[in-house]
A and B are shown apart, each in its own frame.
Chain A
Amino acid sequence: MGAKVVTVTSGKGGVGKTTTTANIAAALAAAGHRVVCIDADIGLRNLDLVMGLENRIVYDLVDVVEGRCKLRQAMIKDKRVPNLYLIPAAQTRDKTAISPEDMIEVTAQLRRDNDWILIDSPAGIEGGFRNALAPADIVLIVTNPEVSAVRDADRIIGLVEAEEKDPPKLILNRVKPDMVRRGEMLKAEDVLEVLAIELIGVVPEDEQVLTASNRGTPLALDGRSRAGRAFQAIARRLMGEQVPLEEFAAEDGFLRRLSRKVRTGGQPA
């Protein structure tokens, strides 16, 4: 069978791709799966920071592609969870160092011995977006509940569709339940109205995301924070479990209508 390749991307930067990649990867590995993360955000590398592995980088993705090291040598083993590895991005400014074919080849080598390969992608407006997309079996689009972020996400969904991939799945990050309740923030329902793709998770705004990133310990490793639990739930949905959407994400009747919406919403054949 081999691994599934999951590419995490977005329309614009700063919406939470790296946070999402690190947390879903940690949750999948904590569930006993073999996981490799690839930081494909060349030049803006920071997945290693969020995972707390920066000080152990010797080789990076470009070294692998250019044959300066073996794939195995560039894989950094996580400190806390077994079966979790990171292939860091290069700090180079040369974004042409890697091609879509390179990404397909690197992931092909990893597929056999792993369950999941998670790719932290640059935002869709960046050149490297296509590299990250090329090997993807599943594309996760991260967006925030803001009109402009949703508009950018829509563009990127169009690009993914143009590559003839399966319809991407949506993660709505940094939702503030209080504001949603007061009608001051876009609801998941409003976002899905426009994007019409499957919603795979809603993550609340949570201060602990930042403290965890600074410490280099993904939140999803302990389920005490709300955001951590939300990321765990996304990992479980990826593994095929039926996990109901978080309480805070729902408006009246929303949960009931969600499943129907998801089914009718996706791509017309």
Chain B
Amino acid sequence: MLKSPPVTTMGSSLALKGIGDGLLVTVPDGDWHVVWPSLLQAIDERADFFRGARLVLQVADRDLGAAELGGLRDELQEREVALAAILSSSAGTRSAGANLGLALEIPRPELGEDGEREPVRFELEGDQAVLIERTLRSGQKVRHPGHVVVLGDVNPGAEVIAGGNVVVWGKLRGVVHAGATGNERSVVCALDLTPTQLRIGSHISVSPERKGNPRPEKAYVKDGNLVAEAWKTS
């Protein structure tokens, strides 16, 4: 299966991988009664990053019953996290998951009546950073524990949530959240930085009206404030 090094920005570690708008979490081995609470704690420590996410849990050959899976789903729901799928080689876990209506493989949402859509596929995928070689359009959302690089625009109504930095080689008009797992040293760069809302770590700002011509800018946290300045390479 997909392996990634634990994200260790702070507190408990967590093996995490972005899959479009969803997140793949690999549950470590060990006693369930120890593993599960520590997983929840790891999620709580990154509440901003996880809020609204669709989770796919990789539990390998671990045997989980309907009660355990149901409880897990409810606890996640309290945190506004949706359990979308459970990946397991255990027949018991798979049948319990199926009974709860969970997908048993990484779901590829059909576009249905409610406007649900195909997840954005990363053009180049890695654990540290992903590259998206296209414009993110309204309603499209990318969530990744590492850095996100977009070669294209991020349109109004699109969203990028990254554990690390966000670099947009284009116009950034949508919502962007860098350092969403708590790293306040993250930056957001764009050729035209006019996001609907910009967040770094726990800081939030909205763009002022643009004056003059667009220019490449970099936003970061300076002395506890979000600031943007001309993006220079030096």
> Residues of A with Cβ closer than 8 Å to B?
124-127, 129-130, 151-152, 154-155, 157-159, 161-162, 194, 196, 267-268
Residue from the set A129, A155, A157 with the largest chain B CB neighbour count within 10 Å:
A155
A254 to B117, CA, bound (A): 34
A127 to B117, CA, bound (A): 12
Contacts A155-B139, A155-B157, A158-B138 given; does A268 touch B133 at CB 8 Å: yes
Q: Output the nearest chain A residue to B173 by Cβ-Cβ distance.
A: A194
Instruction: Report chain A residues within 8 Å CB of B115.
Output: 124-125, 155
Is there an interface contact between B137 and A154, defined as CB atoms closer than 8 Å? yes
Instruction: Report chain A residues within 8 Å CB of B118.
Output: 159, 162
A267 to B134, CA, bound (A): 7
Instruction: Report chain B residues within 8 Å CB of A157.
Output: 137
Task: Name B's interface SS.
Answer: loop
- Give the Cβ gap from A194 to chain B, nearest Cβ, in Å: 6
A155 to B174, CA, bound (A): 13
A157 to B113, CA, bound (A): 17
A to B CB contacts below 8 Å, 30 in the list? A124-B115, A125-B113, A125-B115, A126-B113, A127-B112, A129-B111, A130-B111, A151-B157, A154-B138, A154-B139, A155-B115, A155-B117, A155-B138, A155-B139, A157-B137, A158-B136, A158-B138, A158-B139, A158-B140, A159-B111, A161-B134, A194-B173, A196-B135, A196-B153, A267-B134, A267-B135, A268-B134, A268-B135, A268-B151, A268-B152
B182 within 8 Å of A by Cβ? no
Contact with A along B62-76 (1 / 0, CB 8 A): 000000000000000
A159 to B133, CA, bound (A): 16
Q: Output the nearest chain A residue to B138 by Cβ-Cβ distance.
A: A154
Instruction: Report chain B residues within 8 Å CB of A129.
Output: 111
Is there an interface contact between A162 and B117, defined as CB atoms closer than 8 Å? yes
The 3 closest A-B pairs by CB, nearest first: A158-B137, A154-B138, A162-B118
Instruction: Report chain B residues within 8 Å CB of A161.
Output: 134, 137
Contacts A159-B118, A194-B156, A194-B173 given; does A152 touch B151 at CB 8 Å: no
Instruction: Report chain B residues within 8 Å CB of A159.
Output: 111, 117-118
Instruction: Report chain A residues within 8 Å CB of B151.
Output: 268
A130 to B110, CA, bound (A): 10
Contact with A along B84-117 (1 / 0, CB 8 A): 0000000000000000000000000001110101
A124 to B118, CA, bound (A): 13
Q: Output the nearest chain A residue to B169 by Cβ-Cβ distance.
A: A268
Is there an interface contact between A154 and B113, defined as CB atoms closer than 8 Å? no
A194 to B171, CA, bound (A): 9
Is there an interface contact between A127 and B113, defined as CB atoms closer than 8 Å? yes
A129 to B138, CA, bound (A): 17
A157 to B137, CA, bound (A): 8
- Give the Cβ gap from B196 to chain A, nearest Cβ, in Å: 11
Residue from the set B112, B113, B133, B138 with the largest chain A CB neighbour count within 10 Å:
B138
B186 within 8 Å of A by Cβ? no
Is there an interface contact between B134 and A155, defined as CB atoms closer than 8 Å? no
- Give the Cβ gap from B178 to chain A, nearest Cβ, in Å: 22
Instruction: Report chain B residues within 8 Å CB of A194.
Output: 155-156, 173
Is there an interface contact between A155 and B137, defined as CB atoms closer than 8 Å? yes
Residue from the set A126, A154, A158 with the largest chain B CB neighbour count within 10 Å:
A158
Instruction: Report chain B residues within 8 Å CB of A124.
Output: 115
